């Protein structure tokens, strides 16, 4: 397996979808990265990005040398978000 230290993803998860994590029905997120590979990571790491409209934006995922999830950072908010409101 090749080493991918970081990948970009775009998310548009509505509040009704993310509530499934709170209910314990969803433990991980599976999404195709901008770079091509499909990645899976723990849904709980998105909790700090939840807003009343859900979770939207472009994120950078980092992985260790065994391709295990290390961190996530928002690199671009979804267009149309009011950053000052």
1 is a domain residue: no
Q: Tell me the residue range of the domain where 65 lies.
A: 6-76
Which CATH number characterizes residue 30's domain?
2.40.50
Query: Within a domain: residue 20?
Result: yes
Considering the entire predicted model, what is its pTM?
0.80
17-40: pLDDT as tens digits = 888 888 888 899 999 999 999 999
pLDDT at 83 over 50: no
Residues 57-82 pLDDT 10s: 999 999 999 988 999 999 987 654 44
**pLDDT for 56:** 95
Collapse the DSSP code of 77 into the 3-class scheme (helix H, G, I; strand E, B; otherwise coil) and give the result: coil
| Number of domains the chain contains | 1
User: What is the secondary structure of 40-72 as a DSSP string?
Assistant: EEEGGGGGGG-BTTBEEEEEEEEE-TT--EEEE
């Amino acid at each position: 397996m090749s080493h991918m230290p970081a990948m970009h993803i775009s998310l548009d998860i509505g509040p009704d979808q993310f509530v499934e994590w709170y209910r314990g029905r969803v433990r991980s997120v599976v999404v195709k990265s901008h770079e091509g590979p499909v990645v899976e990571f723990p849904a709980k790491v998105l909790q700090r990005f939840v807003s009343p409209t859900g979770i939207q934006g472009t994120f950078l995922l980092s992985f260790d040398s065994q391709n295990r999830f290390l961190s996530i950072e928002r690199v671009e908010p979804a267009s149309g978000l009011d950053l000052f409101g």
